[in-house]
Amino acid sequence: MTDAAVPAPAGPTLARLLTLTARAVQAVRSGRSLTDVLAGVPGPVRPGVQALSFAVLRRLGAAEVLRAQLAPRRPPPAVEGLLLCALALLWPEEAPAYPDHTLVDQAVTAVRKAAPASAGFVNAVLRRFLRERAAQVAQAERRPEAAWNHPAWWVDQVQADWPEHWQTILGQARLRPPMALRVNARRCSVPDYLLRLQAAGLSGRAVNGPGWEHAIVLDAPVPVERLPGFAEGWVSVQDLAAQRAAPLLIDAGLPAGARVLDACAAPGGKTAHLLELADLDLLALDADPGRLARVGEGLLRLGLHARTQAADARAVGSWWDGRPFDAILLDAPCSASGIVRRHPDIAWLRRPEDIPALARIQAELLDALWPLLKPGGRLLYATCSVFQAEGQAQIDAFLQRQGLSPACISPVSPGHLLPLPDNQDATSAPGPVARADGFFYALLGKPATSGAAS
């Protein structure tokens, strides 16, 4: 999903967008993915609903606290959804998307259509908030959910894992992320593509740093249809942190035609990047057949080829042919706590018990795949998480279970990549990456003296 700016429609159009956005937000609060919800929104209004949903979800914690302050008795779901949307969008901002009076008027119009008897109630609540905004905001911000717009347990976990940087990490998660591109090395160079962008009336810049030789960051996000050569496979959308994966594995030293496993491949960005950089015998595996289809579609657009198979990587006997791999990429299922700014519904979908449950799956995947690696081979473990349990703590436990030395971790492993801003002096944090998502990478080398894979 492209994180576009909030649109500025007038009249009843905004009321309709607010109605659909309220339904989407309430669906997320009940446990549904925003991506799934938006798929059911009519095409012509989907971009506006998506933009508004992103804006509201980035302030949902504050809106929920305000609603409880201003209306202690919970209103019906449809009314509550519209009230939450309005309160989130009325929260003080340097550049608000809409004038206060327009938001209140259109929210009340939407409520009048959904629940006529509640229109006066919503009008009174919103106008009271505007009269008392400074005091209401100050009171709300005493609660961590409002101050940081994450569940309280999430705030506590980030603070425990990153005591020096927790505020910055949580603050960055509320911001709209940059749009990063990966130029297909088989089709084009970064300087050439920058010229193509300029000719199309777009602007961006190349990115310096290891693993970013093919990266561009746009000055402003645009729909992929506006990217020159996108349909022809010249470029893909992929965050800077995610672009580190393929170079880490390729630069570790792979022979031509190396046998490589991408164990949890969907949606396929890292799969494609590997094939853009090297000629590989690559098997893309994923447990979800529907998501695996996206891998094939992406490879077709880019003019690349890999074998794909729907299977749970942990059930080795159901898919492995017995031949060991030169390299394995394990982009393991995780909390996605490092990409909340791109998917603001994540923080509200996760529960505290999800983290240990996901950590168990990650451990099972590591233990199942390690024996499939050739002696001297490399396994790259990755998660888009800022939680230690899914990163360094997971790898430390794996080394202990396998009786491996910490020396098995390559010195080029970035470790935890934190979503810190460009001007942050964060040299005390492991591997900070400016303007990139939160990620963890550990490149593990299998000792050459190991026995044959089994």
Nearest to 431 by CA among 453, 400, 409: 409
Which is catalytic among the residues 85, 334, 384, 408? Answer: 384
Torsion of CA 378, 247, 290, 299, to 10 degrees: -120
Give the pair of three-digit tokens for residue 303.
């003019």
Return the number of other C-beta atoms located less than 10 Å from residue 228's C-beta. 18
Cis omega (within 30 of 0) for bond into 344: no
CA 55 to chain centre: 16
22/27 Cα distance (integer angstroms): 8
Nearest to 436 by CA among 194, 244, 170, 197: 244
Residue corresponding to tokens 């992406």: 298
What CA–CA distances, in Å, run from 414 to 172, 191, 214, 386, 402?
A: 20, 27, 18, 13, 22
Tell me, yes or no, if 384 is annotated catalytic.
yes
167/149 Cα distance (integer angstroms): 12
Please identify every residue annotated as catalytic: 384
